[in-house]
Amino acid sequence: MTAATSSKPISRDDLLVAALIWLSAFALYVRTLAPSLLWGDSAEFQVLSYTLGMTHPSGYTTQIILGKFFTLIPLGNIAWRVNLMSAFFGAFAAAQVYLIVRMFNRWRVAAVAASALLALSEGFWWRALVAESYATAASMIASVWLLTLLWNRSGKWQYLFLAGLLGGLSVGIHSTVVMTAASVLVIMTLAARKRADWLGASAGALIGLALTLATFLYVDAHDPPSSIYNTVYRPSLSALGLTETQFDTPFERLFAIFPANHFWDYYFSAPPEVIRARLVEYAGIYPLWAAAFIVVGIVALFRRPTWHDGLYPLVSFLLIWGLGVTVAFSIYREFYVPAAIFIAGWLGAGIGIILDGLDSLLQREHVTRRVARPIILAASFLTFILLPFSDAYANLQLAVTKGYTDFIRRDHIYPIFAPDKAINDARKLLERVEPNAIIFTDWDNLYSAIYTAQLVMDRDDITLHEAFIGEQPRFADSAIAYINANINERPIYFTLWLDNLEEHFTVEVIDEGLYRIRGK
């Protein structure tokens, strides 16, 4: 379980071990993968990866283009294929963590344990099973970190170029990857002495940003009916303080999708009592043995000759994790997923330094070195490997035997025993409306209904919209104008009650959860 010193480049054996880790994690994720259509944001990614439409802010255009490639895989349904993308990148992140830890120490067992902790932790495993951007973002963060370490060890500017390229492309994946740019700048300020390093990193970042802009312009011009522009924005522009003339050019739409707000305005926007509750909650995510090694790993990286190795993960972690803990959003645990890359790296560094100390102690006595050292080290290796697996034993057992886990069942990540529930529910709605209908519904059901209408039932005649934008359940003025322009030509329905409906329309109750509106 030991290998060449960490100062050498990654060996062929390490690449082989990393490939095996990826294959194992990928197989586990595929075994427990969400089998079909989901709801909310996941359904949106499942639809728009196929139709190449614009998503909710902040656009996710790189994610959508990558998702399109996965929809071309001739296996399963379209929804399952987009879920598969998360499994692929989640497993890739675990493999890269192995390589990152190998850059820190000579103990392969430490790197394997770190990868296992990441891959088997419930929060990370969960996000590797559904169509979302968090597993992809975690993989990109691991890639940038690994490339930065490779540059720091080899001095080759090409690694910085690739890191910058991925960072620029990740603007279209998730904001958490962009946050790590601050860490790259810190490391380069401390360690970059060549103009080629700065030029390489800058060129890569600019090319990545240009490619992200190109993907935006392509998706913006493609503009299918399923695009967020048509399902949400255009009918409700007035709720966003916009008019049609303020939303008719690509760059006006760009600033609507990529808001110009300073992201740091979101820090500490949650009340103090919420922040305290989240800190307590986060403290319980990892077992005590892991927490101890994580703390040791943080300290160990700063005690190395290349002490700035410790700055990169610390700055990045505080930016990403700090936003998750202090932001007012109700969806905050998702920020812990990309931050878990650094947790796993610290764990591997901590185990490595403990093994260094143990090995040094065992070599002090000749008898111990010759007789007991191999046995003690082997027992230590086995312990460190088994610890992450023992914590995940119940989930692993269910995954292998049943194809789902305890947390999937507990948190209702997807319906285990009714995999097509989202499709069946949407079908029941769509079968109750006549051809050429317009339906206003809530966000959670919007894209599952679009998927079912367009990809399952081949009903392109139906137009679906989100009923309202914002906190108040009211039609926007522009939505009322849109309805008035169509109400004499097309049947219009909504699936939820809005406060100002009866002010403007006659409401007919069709049945529970479905209402038709007519002009007064």
Q: What is the pLDDT of residues 318-354, one digit of tens each?
A: 999 999 999 998 889 999 999 999 999 999 999 999 9
**3-class DSSP assignment, residue 96:** helix
The CA R_g of the chain, rounded to the nearest whole Å, is 25
What are the tens digits of pLDDT across the range 484-505?
Answer: 999 999 999 999 988 888 888 9
Residue 365 has pLDDT above 80, yes or no: no
**How much is the average pLDDT of 241-252?**
92
Q: How far is CA 405 from CA 26, 129, 281, 317, in A?
A: 15, 11, 21, 28
Greater pLDDT, 303 or 407: 407
Q: Is 34 exposed, middle or buried (0-12, 13-18, 19+ CB in 10 A)?
A: buried
For the chain, give every residue range classified as CATH 3.40.190: 421-519
User: Which two structure tokens, joined as six digits, stand for 257?
Assistant: 């999708």
Residues β-bridged to residue 509: 515
**How much is the average pLDDT of 131-136?**
96
Confidence of residue 128 (pLDDT cuts 50, 70, 90): very high
Q: Which of 35-44, 52-61, 68-77, 436-445 has the lowest mean pLDDT?
A: 52-61
Residue 1 has pLDDT above 60, yes or no: no
Main-chain dihedrals φ then ψ at residue 37, nearest 5 degrees: -65, 145
Report the C-alpha gap between 195 and 510 in whole angstroms.
Answer: 70
User: Which two structure tokens, joined as six digits, stand for 135?
Assistant: 């597993």
**How much is the average pLDDT of 404-432?**
96
CB 219 within 8 A of CB 53: yes
Amino acid at 333: R
Residue 261 has pLDDT above 70, yes or no: no
What are the tens digits of pLDDT across the range 146-202?
Answer: 999 999 888 899 999 999 999 999 999 998 888 888 888 888 888 888 999 999 999
Residue 491 CB neighbours (<10 A) = 16
Confidence of residue 260 (pLDDT cuts 50, 70, 90): low
Longest dimension (CA), the chain: 96
What are the tens digits of pLDDT across the range 6-63?
Answer: 445 688 999 999 999 999 999 999 999 999 999 999 999 999 999 999 999 888 999 9
Tell me the CB-side half-sphere exposure of residue 419, using CA atoms within 13 A.
12
Tell me the CB-side half-sphere exposure of residue 91, using CA atoms within 13 A.
21
Residue 313 has pLDDT above 50, yes or no: yes
Task: Give the pLDDT of residue 8.
Answer: 56
User: Which two structure tokens, joined as six digits, stand for 327?
Assistant: 């932001």
Residue 377 CB neighbours (<10 A) = 18
User: Which two structure tokens, joined as six digits, stand for 282?
Assistant: 């986060």
Sign of CA pseudo-dihedral 220, 226, 228, 234: positive
Share the mean pLDDT of the chain.
Answer: 92
Residue 288 has pLDDT above 90, yes or no: yes
**How much is the average pLDDT of 99-114?**
95
Report the C-alpha gap between 344 and 342 in whole angstroms.
Answer: 5
Greater pLDDT, 33 or 1: 33
Residue 142 has pLDDT above 90, yes or no: yes
Task: Give the pLDDT of residue 263.
Answer: 67
Residue 364 has pLDDT above 90, yes or no: no
**How much is the average pLDDT of 468-476?**
86
Amino acid at 389: F
Beta strands across the sheet bearing 438-441: 463-466, 438-441, 492-494, 514-519, 505-511
**How much is the average pLDDT of 243-266?**
83
Main-chain dihedrals φ then ψ at residue 295, nearest 5 degrees: -60, -45
Amino acid at 13: D
Task: Give the pLDDT of residue 2.
Answer: 36
Confidence of residue 265 (pLDDT cuts 50, 70, 90): confident
User: Which two structure tokens, joined as six digits, stand for 371?
Assistant: 């007789």
Q: How far is CA 247 from CA 55, 238, 317, 379, in A?
A: 16, 11, 36, 65
Task: Give the pLDDT of residue 512.
Answer: 82
User: Which two structure tokens, joined as six digits, stand for 167?
Assistant: 């960072």
Residues β-bridged to residue 464: 439
Architecture of domain 421-519: 3-Layer(aba) Sandwich (3.40)
Report the C-alpha gap between 508 and 424 in whole angstroms.
Answer: 24
58: CB partners within 8 A, 6+ apart: 175, 257, 258, 259
Sole residue written with tokens 């905050």:
332
Task: Give the pLDDT of residue 196.
Answer: 93
